[in-house]
Amino acid sequence: MFLDNDKISSKQLISLLVLDFFSTASLTLPKYAAKYGKEDAWIVVIGATVIACIYAILISRVASMFPKETFTRYTEKITNRLISVLLSGMFLIKFIIGAALELRVFGELVKQSMLHNTPIEIIMILMLLIAAYIARKGYEARGRIGGFLVFVAFIPLFIILAFATENVELSNLMPMFVGDPFEIGKGIYMLSFGFAGIELMFIATYYLDKPEKAMRATLKSVLIVGVLNLAVTIITIGTYGVESTTKYIWPLFSIMSVVKVPFLLIDRQDALMMSFWIITVFSLMSAYVFFSSLLVKEIFRFKEQNFTVLPLLPFIYFIALIPDNVVQTYDYINKINIYISPVTLVILPILLMIIAKIRKLGVGKNEKI
C-alpha cells in the first residue's frame, strides 16, 4: 500500500513548506516589518527572505550530503551517538514547544475572533487531534494532503489580496529609504526566523524521492512565501499606514475586515481569511507532531513511527496552556527565535558541514548518489 512507501516528491515538499512558512510568519509579519522598517518595511521583508535562503542552502546542503540516512543516523556518523541523541532531543523539544506555542496562538485567535464562548482547551484539543491523525498516517499521506491544501488555501487568498490592493494608498508607503539602517538590519534578522520551519529539512530530506532536489525545493518555497509576505506587507501598510499596522497583533486579519469584494455574498473577509489560515495551521501542527514522533522513533530506534504520535500530545497540550495570555505566548516565541533559532539554523549546519568535510563523510555536491 502506498502509505508504507513514505517518500514524497519535491512538489509535495514545496506545498508543505509553503503552508508551514506562511502559517508561522504571515500573521504578525506586517506588524514587525512596520515596527522595524517603518515605510521601508518591504526592505525588511526582502532582506529576511534573502537571509532565509541562506539558512535553506546551509541546511539542505548538510542534509543532502547524507541522502540515504535519517537525521539521527547521519549526525551519529558525523559526531557520535551521544551528541546525535542530544541533537535529536533538542529538536524534539524545540518542535514540541514550537507546536505548543503555535497551538496557543491558534486557540487565542479563534477564540478572540470567532468562538467567544468556547473554551480554548476544546479549540486546541480538536486541532491537536486532527494534526495527530494525519501525522500517524506517515509522510506520504501528509505530502498528498499538502499538495491539495495549498490550492485550497492560497487561490482564495490571492483573490482576496487582489481586491485588497484597491484600498492601498501610495502615500502610506512613501517616502522610501528613510528607515534607520540599524533598525532595518535588526528587523531583517528577527523576521528571518519566521522561516524557522526550514530546520524541518534536516529531517525531511531523507523522505524525498529525489534528495538531490531538496535544496531547490526549499529555496523555491522560501521565495514563494517571501513574495507572498511582501505582497501582504505592502497591502497592509498601504492600507493602514505604519502607525496602525504596528498597533494590531494580527494585522493580516484586521486588514481583511476592510476588504470589499464586489458581488460576494460575504461582507467581511476576515472570517474567510481565518478559514484559510486554519488550513495552514493544520499543516504546520501536523508537521511538528509528525517530525517530533519521527525523532522519538529515531532516538529510541523503534521500528514504527505512528505509535509515538499520541504520547506526545499531552506534552504539546500542557505546554500550550503554560503562557498566561497571548502577550506572554508571543514573548516566548520571540525568545525562542532570538536564542535558539540562530543555533539550529546557522551554527549547527555549519558545524556539521565542517566536521563532515574534515572526516570526509557524505556525498559531494556533484557526485551521483
Partner 1 sequence: MKKYRLLILCILTFDVAFLTGCWDKIEINDRSFIIGIGIDNEDGEFSITCTTPNISESKGGDSSKEAQNNYIKTSKDKTIASALHNMEANLDVNLDFGHTKVLVLGKSLIEDPNMLKDVVDYFDRNTIYSMRIKVMTTQMKAVDILQTKIEGKDSTGVYIAKIFKNHSDDILRFNTVDLGDLVFQLNASKGSALISKIMLEDKELKFGGGAVIKDYSLDGWLEEEELRSLGWLRGKAKRSEVNFKYNDITMPYCISNSQSKSNFELKDDTLYIDVEIKSEGNIPEYRLEEQSLFDDKVIKQLGEAVDKTIKEEVEKLNAKMQNEFQSDIAGYQDQLKISNRKIYLKTKDQWEEYFINAKINVNVKTSIRRIGVTE
By CB under 8 A, how many residues form the interface with partner 1?
Answer: 32
Binding residue for partner 1, selected from 240, 276, 282, 291, defined by CB under 8 A? 240
User: Which grid cell sits at 15?
Assistant: 506545498
Long-range contacts of 148-154 (CB under 8 A, 24+ apart): 149/15, 149/19, 149/279, 149/282, 149/283, 150/15, 150/18, 150/19, 152/276, 152/279, 153/19, 153/22, 153/276, 153/277, 153/279, 153/280, 154/18, 154/228, 154/276
Amino acid at 255: I
Binding residue for partner 1, selected from 82, 116, 262, 266, defined by CB under 8 A? 116
Could you tell me which of 4, 59, 50 has the C-alpha nearest to residue 304? 4
Least spacing, CB of residue 121 vs partner 1, in Å = 11
- Write the DSSP assignment of 341-366 as a string of letters: HHIIIIIHHHHHHHHHHHTT-S--SS
Task: Give dist(CA 42, CA 56) in Å, integer.
Answer: 21
Binding residue for partner 1, selected from 9, 79, 113, 306, defined by CB under 8 A? 113
Cβ-based nearer residue to partner 1, 46 or 274: 274
Cβ-based nearer residue to partner 1, 177 or 182: 177
Give the three-state DSSP class for 168.
coil
If one asks whether residue 366 binds partner 1 (CB under 8 A), the answer comes out as: no
Helices H, strands E: what count in the chain?
Answer: 17, 0
If one asks whether residue 81 binds partner 1 (CB under 8 A), the answer comes out as: no
Binding residue for partner 1, selected from 5, 80, 118, 328, defined by CB under 8 A? 118
Cβ-based nearer residue to partner 1, 175 or 364: 175
If one asks whether residue 364 binds partner 1 (CB under 8 A), the answer comes out as: no
Least spacing, CB of residue 334 vs partner 1, in Å = 22
Amino acid at 170: L
If one asks whether residue 265 binds partner 1 (CB under 8 A), the answer comes out as: no
Task: Give dist(CA 110, CA 299) in Å, integer.
Answer: 35
Cβ-based nearer residue to partner 1, 266 or 358: 266
Task: Give dist(CA 192, CA 341) in Å, integer.
Answer: 10
Amino acid at 325: N
Binding residue for partner 1, selected from 267, 304, 324, 367, defined by CB under 8 A? 267
Task: Pick out residues in 180-239 that bind partner 1 (CB under 8 A).
Answer: 239
If one asks whether residue 133 binds partner 1 (CB under 8 A), the answer comes out as: no
Binding residue for partner 1, selected from 83, 152, 174, 227, defined by CB under 8 A? 174
Binding residue for partner 1, selected from 4, 117, 300, 367, defined by CB under 8 A? 117
Residues composing the chain? 369
Binding residue for partner 1, selected from 84, 172, 205, 236, defined by CB under 8 A? 172
Task: Pick out residues in 151-170 that bind partner 1 (CB under 8 A).
Answer: 169-170
If one asks whether residue 359 binds partner 1 (CB under 8 A), the answer comes out as: no
CB distance 259 to 158 below 8 Å? no
Q: Which stretch binds partner 1 (CB under 8 A): 20-28, 47-55, 96-104, 114-122?
A: 114-122
Binding residue for partner 1, selected from 79, 112, 306, 334, defined by CB under 8 A? 112
Give the three-state DSSP class for 8.
strand
Cβ-based nearer residue to partner 1, 28 or 192: 28
Give the three-state DSSP class for 210.
coil
Cβ-based nearer residue to partner 1, 155 or 176: 176
Sign of the torsion formed by the C-alpha atoms of 188, 37, 94 and 10: negative
If one asks whether residue 254 binds partner 1 (CB under 8 A), the answer comes out as: yes
Cβ-based nearer residue to partner 1, 34 or 56: 34
Task: Give dist(CA 214, CA 198) in Å, integer.
Answer: 11
Largest alpha-carbon pair distance within the chain?
64
Least spacing, CB of residue 117 vs partner 1, in Å = 4
Q: Which residues bind partner 1 (CB under 8 A)?
A: 112-119, 122, 169-172, 174-176, 178, 239-244, 247, 253-254, 257-258, 260, 267-268, 270
